Chain A
Amino acid sequence: NAGVTQTPKFQVLKTGQSMTLQCAQDMNHNSMYWYRQDPGMGLRLIYYSASEGTTDKGEVPNGYNVSRLNKREFSLRLESAAPSQTSVYFCASSETGDYGYTFGSGTRLTVV
């Protein structure tokens, strides 16, 4: 089925560890996004990529880095995880000019 695939679905990290969240879409969309979802705060944009080869900071970029590896893949890296990064992370994609986003099923990350 066409869509956005995120891996892993669950992850527990110790403070200071690093990890990369993977995201891939097979809809040939130009734009991709990383959001985090926290109770009472909705979804907040971490980074986005308007097109292959470009990335920009969103609302809450501190502590994260991203790579737009190709048109399909957009990864999110935590270099030194902190408990404040415990959250559910969602990747999304959209076509240029189409304001509807397609979301992945999320990665639930716990940092202890």
Chain B
Amino acid sequence: AQSVAQPEDQVNVAEGNPLTVKCTYSVSGNPYLFWYVQYPNRGLQFLLKYITGDNLVKGSYGFEAEFNKSQTSFHLKKPSALVSDSALYFCAVRDWNTGFQKLVFGTGTRLLVSP
């Protein structure tokens, strides 16, 4: 079964410092990987995706993610964190078990950026 793991419940970083939110995956086919962000009392918003091509994927709000096939990882990164980046981040992978596109989400990582 397809799955993603987010090993950290919370990541704390100071404003201006680089941030990394970790995600590892397990799939039976080609990995289609995604990052979503959830701000308080809001639905999830799409940040970026990896389907194929360059291992470094750029997304919204200055975020990027690095796909590493050998380590089965897809970590979310940003060079300089902002207080406004504080939110809940979800990694997701496409479910290949069915003929229909479905996403399987991780448990989420709360990012807290301090001033």
Listed in ascending order, the chain A residues whose CB lies under 8 Å from chain B are 4, 31, 33, 35, 40-45, 48, 50, 56, 58, 90, 92, 94, 96-97, 99-106
CB contacts (< 8 Å) of A41 on chain B: these are: 107
Given A58-B102, A94-B101, A42:B108 Cβ within 8 A: yes
- Of A41, A43, A103, A105, the most chain B CB neighbours within 10 A belong to A43
Cα distance A100–B57 in the bound complex, in angstroms:
15
Q: Is the CB of A103 within 8 A of B45?
A: yes
- Name the CB-closest residue of A to B33: A99
Beyond known contacts A45-B102, A56-B100, A90-B43: 18 more, CB 8 A cutoff: A31-B101, A33-B102, A40-B9, A42-B107, A43-B44, A43-B105, A96-B101, A97-B101, A99-B34, A99-B94, A100-B49, A101-B36, A101-B46, A102-B46, A103-B36, A103-B44, A104-B43, A105-B43
- Name the CB-closest residue of B to A35: B105
Q: How far, in Å, is A17 (CB) from chain B's closest CB?
A: 24
Is B103 positioned at the interface, with any CB of A under 8 Å from its CB? Answer: yes
CB contacts (< 8 Å) of A105 on chain B: these are: 41-43
Q: Is the CB of A103 within 8 A of B43?
A: yes
Q: Is the CB of B108 within 8 A of A101?
A: no
CB contacts (< 8 Å) of A97 on chain B: these are: 101
CB contacts (< 8 Å) of B43 on chain A: these are: 4, 90, 92, 103-106
CB contacts (< 8 Å) of A40 on chain B: these are: 9, 107
CB contacts (< 8 Å) of A35 on chain B: these are: 105
